[in-house]
Structures are given as C-alpha cells and as structure tokens.
A = this chain, B = another copy of it.
C-alpha cells in the first residue's frame, strides 16, 4: 500500500522538473513565505531531505523557480503576432513586455524572487538578448540599446518597483481620511481629491496597475525613440 501523502499528493517519483513546478504552485497558492523545503516536501509526501537529491539547496530551488517562470514568459511571448522589429521596434517591444507582464501577474511573488537573485539567470539573459535584438533591428545603436536595458530594468520583464502597494498607501480617495492628511501632505491630498483611481484589483505586488505600467513604459520607449532619431 502506498505511503500516506498529503492531500492531492502524487506517488510519482521526484524529479527536478516536478520539484520546481510544485514550488511555483506552492508559491502561487500559499505565498512566497510558505515556500519552504519542508512544506514543499510535504506536497510529495516525502521528507525535506529528499528534495536535496534534485536541487542543491534553497538558493538553487529559487534559481529553478525563475527558470520555470521564464519558460512561461517565453511560451507567452512566442504566441504573439506583433509587427516585425524592423518595422516598428517600439510596438514589437511593447507587445513583448506586456506579454511578460501577464505572466508576472499570474505569479505576484515572482518579482521578489527575480530581485533576490544576485547573478542573472541564463533564461533572463536570453530574454534580454531578445529585447536588445528588437531594438537593434529597429535601428538603435548599441550604445542606446545598452542604456535602454539599464533604464528599463525590471520593466523589461513586466514589473516595476513601487514605493508601496497602491491600495495600502495614501490612496484612500475618501474625503473623510483626507482631512487630517491635507495638513501635512498638501500636495498628495490635492492630487487625490482630483484624481480618481480607476484601476482597482489590477495590482501586482509592489508594482503598478496596468494603465500606470503602460504609461511609464510608453514614456520610456518614446524617449528612446526620440534619442534614436536625434
């Protein structure tokens, strides 16, 4: 009789591939703080130590998780049918970045993991080579491509670092909570009383809503295009 396993566990043998996929699923379902070696092992009805036969340690596990997410990005990007880079590099790159963002939205914890890797994952580097290729074929100098990669930073992969979550911050948009704020924060109070936030729900961890993300992305792409033709 098969050994007792956690609910939903499969008695299939472990493998690096299966371990990494389960790690992504665990983070999706229970959050990044739940992704521990012990809890991951539980999903397979196995001791934590068994995982070390397929993954060197937790850092390597997280590297593998990045690999899996980048695989999803590649699959999503491959399904795109935008204009060729030679014709309109901005539109081509924009489509690619927004497609990558869709993947990040499915894994809200991913930006944090990407940011925690000290050296670049090979899959990320390959992705950036494609980004560079789009710009290069679009007529950008390598110098501009280089600066563009730095300027875009994590935006190239579809996420951007906000200073706080849009909902948790100073965005009550409520006149009641605005009163005490107006005294010490006159400009934010004035701004909030004039602006209506119309993008509820579409938050990506510490990242922009869709409209804000697109605004910032377009502003950067337009600025780069202006430099290209200057």
Q: Which residues of A contact B (CB under 8 A)?
A: 112, 114-115, 117-121, 124-126, 128-130, 132-133, 136, 142-143, 145-147, 150-151, 153-154, 156-157, 160-165, 168-170, 184-188, 190-191, 194-195, 206, 208, 212, 215-216, 219-220, 222-224, 227
Closest-by-CB residue of B relative to A122 is B184
A156 vs B132: C-alpha distance in the bound complex, in angstroms?
26
Of B128, B160, B206, B222, the residue contacting A223 (CB under 8 A) is B222
Question: Do A120 and B163 touch across chains, with their CB atoms under 8 A apart?
Answer: yes
A124 vs B185: C-alpha distance in the bound complex, in angstroms?
11
Question: Do A161 and B151 touch across chains, with their CB atoms under 8 A apart?
Answer: no
Question: Do A150 and B185 touch across chains, with their CB atoms under 8 A apart?
Answer: no
Question: Do B219 and A136 touch across chains, with their CB atoms under 8 A apart?
Answer: no
Of B125, B168, B212, the residue contacting A150 (CB under 8 A) is B212
Q: Is the interface of A mostly helix, strand, loop or mixed?
A: helix
A120 vs B168: C-alpha distance in the bound complex, in angstroms?
7
Question: Do B216 and A151 touch across chains, with their CB atoms under 8 A apart?
Answer: yes
Of B115, B169, B216, the residue contacting A125 (CB under 8 A) is B169
Question: Do A126 and B168 touch across chains, with their CB atoms under 8 A apart?
Answer: no
Closest-by-CB residue of B relative to A184 is B126
Cβ of A227 to closest chain B Cβ, rounded Å: 8
Question: Do B187 and A132 touch across chains, with their CB atoms under 8 A apart?
Answer: yes
Question: Do B224 and A145 touch across chains, with their CB atoms under 8 A apart?
Answer: no
Which of chain B's residues have a CB closer than 8 A to the CB of A147? 212, 215-216
Question: Do A118 and B164 touch across chains, with their CB atoms under 8 A apart?
Answer: yes
Question: Do A150 and B119 touch across chains, with their CB atoms under 8 A apart?
Answer: no
Which of chain B's residues have a CB closer than 8 A to the CB of A150? 162, 208, 212, 215-216
A224 vs B160: C-alpha distance in the bound complex, in angstroms?
18
